[in-house]
């Protein structure tokens, strides 16, 4: 679905302050793991501002398609982003949310 895949990895500050969870794997290790995947061209940390404002992400990474889980589709935040992207020739491709795969559940099972 793309020629170059750049993966934005939410930093630990985002995980702690927005998701209200303690990261199991440290942010730099998450980036390193994703960078090791053959299908990923580049993985980089993104902060709260960049995660919340996709126009900042667009400026930083210069992409033409943003991939996001379809659980965000139709939300006010993403409707606004779709409108902003349309003005600059970018779009959002929604991928099916993976039901039954949850880091919260994995952490619970590990305990």
pLDDT one-digit tens code per residue, 16-49: 999 898 898 999 999 999 999 999 999 999 999 9
Q: Does domain 6-110 have CATH number 3.40.50.10240?
A: no
Alpha-carbon distance of 7 to 26, in angstroms, equals 16
- Distance between CA 35 and CA 85 in Å, rounded? 27
Rounded to 5 degrees, φ, ψ at 71 are -70, -15
Average pLDDT score over the chain: 93
In the predicted model, what is the mean pLDDT of residues 81-102?
91
pLDDT confidence tier of residue 97, bands split at 50, 70 and 90: confident
What pLDDT is recorded for position 44?
97
CA distance 110 to 105: 9
* Distance of alpha carbon 29 from alpha carbon 98, whole angstroms: 23
Q: Is the pLDDT of residue 99 over 80?
A: no
Query: What is the b/e burial string over 16-52, where b = at least 16 CB atoms within 10 angstroms of the residue's CB?
Result: eeeeeeebeeebeebbeebeeeeeeeebebbeeebbe
pTM for the full predicted model = 0.84
Please say if the pLDDT value at position 100 is more than 90.
no
CB atoms within 10 A of CB 65: 11
Question: Span 63-70, mean pLDDT?
Answer: 95
Share of the chain above pLDDT 70, in %: 100
């Amino acid at each position: 679905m793309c020629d170059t895949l750049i993966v934005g990895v939410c930093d630990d500050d985002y995980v702690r302050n927005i998701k209200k969870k303690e990261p199991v794997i440290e942010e730099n290790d998450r980036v390193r793991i994703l960078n090791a995947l053959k299908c990923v061209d580049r993985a980089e940390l993104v902060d709260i501002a960049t995660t919340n404002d996709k126009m900042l992400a667009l400026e930083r990474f210069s992409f033409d398609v943003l991939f996001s889980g379809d659980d965000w589709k139709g939300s006010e935040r993403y409707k606004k982003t779709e409108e902003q992207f349309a003005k600059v020739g970018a779009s959002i491709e929604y991928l099916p949310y993976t039901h039954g795969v949850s880091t919260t559940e994995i952490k619970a099972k590990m305990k």
